[in-house]
Amino acid sequence: MREAAERVDHEALDASPDQGISGGYAYFQGAIVPFASAQVSIATHALHYGTGCFEGIRGYWNPDHEELYLVKMREHFQRFVKSARLLKMELTESLEELAEITLEVLRRDGYRQDVYVRPIAYKSSPVLKIDLHTPANGLAIFALPLGDYSSTTGLRVTISSWRRVTDNSIPARGKITGSYVNTALAVEDAQAAGYDDCLMLTEQGHIAEGSAANFFMVEGRALVTSPVNDEILVGLTRAAIIRLARDLQLEVRERSIDRSEVYQAEEAFLCGTGVQIGPILSVDGRPIGSGRPGPVTTALKETYFHAVRGEDPRYREWLTPVYQ
């Protein structure tokens, strides 16, 4: 296994997303530098106008393999490039270069635990002009240790009063930084009311997704999920769940979902890179099914975690080893 050139102080980095990042390395302005050196001006265009896009890539440590596996790294970077183009940013780094930079950052960090990788492209010029063609483009990539972003054992959610941003306002298909104010408003209200998360509706009143995760519910031996034209981010974990479901001989239906259907669902869960798979126990105080994680959700979750830790050879094409 390739040893890192230098190792960060892992005790200074907590596995909680609420903690700040104080060490490690980052790719910034074309070079890998200490994380503390990767700084931008307070006049940076993206800071003022939300003109950036990002990805989140999970890495899972397998102690038996002595390996850190990145999940669907190439697919994440393909979506990253598409998001950048929505903002008229053409990255100079190729997909292969983005992948190799990411691997090198992680090798220097030397993590032997689960991690989260954050690539971000942004309008980097210190100009206060609202457009997409004047500012220059910047790119940064860094990683941090991360365990569970939210509960994978059970979530209490509510239907948010905030509607999901529409594709004709800010494209939901891109992970655009400015659009996540929509998420922040919704999840803040949900948590202030005592819930773990929320479901967001489209302007037509259909279930779009969670605050920052895709939604599935169970009908018998079928999974039902919102279609791509109901203002969802087309999730890579969502695609993985669909593949796993079909391998478990489950039918998958993509269609619009009404609010009242969710209240009557047999099972329901959120999924995403950060959330992973979070069973929904109740919605607006109404128990989903038995009020406990159901058998379909449990089977999918167990299969998923075996897959992303490199323990199921059927899904090894999803994984990129860091140290091999």
Q: Is residue 65 part of a domain?
A: yes
Is residue 300 assigned to a domain? Answer: yes
Residue 273 lies inside a defined structural domain of this protein: yes
In a domain, 313, yes or no: no
Strands (E), 115-225: 115-123, 137-145, 155-159, 197-201, 207-210, 214-219, 222-225
Residues 199, 68 share a domain: no
- pTM of structure: 0.92
Give catalytic residue positions.
175
Query: Over the Cα atoms of the chain, what is R_g?
Result: 20
Among the candidates 123, 145, 167, a domain finishes at: 145
Kindly state whether residue 314 falls inside one of the protein's structural domains.
no
Contacts of 40 (CB under 8 A, 6+ apart): 47, 124, 138
Closest C-alpha among 47, 44, 272, 49 to residue 170: 49
Please give the angle made by the CA atoms of 201, 237 and 151, to the nearest 5 degrees: 75
Clarify whether residues 139 and 168 are in a common domain. Answer: no
Per-residue tokens: 89: 């940013």
* Same domain assignment for residues 259 and 127: no
Establish if 5 belongs to a structural domain.
Answer: no
> 77 and 212 in one domain?
no
pLDDT (tens, 9 = 90+) of the chain, 324 residues, equals 333 333 344 333 444 556 667 789 999 999 999 999 999 999 999 999 999 999 999 999 999 999 999 999 999 999 999 999 999 999 999 999 999 999 999 999 999 999 999 999 999 999 999 999 999 999 999 999 998 888 899 999 999 999 999 999 999 889 999 999 999 999 999 999 999 999 999 999 999 999 999 999 999 999 999 999 999 999 999 999 999 999 999 999 999 999 999 999 999 999 999 999 999 999 999 999 999 999 999 999 999 999 999 999 999 999 999 998
Q: What is the CATH number of the domain that holds 283?
A: 3.20.10.10
Which phi and psi (to 5°) does residue 207 adopt? Answer: -70, 125
Beta strands 267-272 and 251-254: pairing type?
unpaired
Same-domain check for residues 136 and 259: no
Judge if 20 and 136 occupy the same domain.
yes
Dig out the tokens for 133 from the structure: 């063609």
Residue 61: name the closest of 130, 147, 128, 119 by CA: 147
Query: What CATH number does residue 136 fall under?
Result: 3.30.470.10
Pairing between β-strand 222-225 and β-strand 251-254 as defined by DSSP bridges: parallel
CA distances from 42 to 38, 45, 124 (A): 13, 9, 10
Residues 141 and 165 in one domain: no
Q: 16 with 117: CB under 8 angstroms?
A: no
Q: Give the closest residue to 132 by CA, choosing from 140, 121, 117, 141.
A: 121
> Into how many domains does the chain fold?
2
**Residue type present at position 31:** A
Any residues with CB less than 8 A from the CB of 215 and at least 6 apart, and which? Answer: 199, 207, 208, 209, 225, 226, 257, 268, 269, 270
Specify if 228 maps to a domain: yes
Same domain, 138 and 161: no
Handedness of CA 178, 179, 183, 186 (dihedral sign): positive
Among candidate residues 145, 170, 191, the one where a domain is terminated: 145
The closest of 237, 310, 2 to 319, measured between CA atoms, is 310
- The boundaries of the domain holding residue 167 are 155-308
Tell me, yes or no, whether 81 lies in a domain: yes
Domain check: are 92 and 167 in the same one?
no
Is residue 130 domain-shared with residue 263, that is, in the same domain? no
Whether residue 168 sits in one domain with residue 31: no
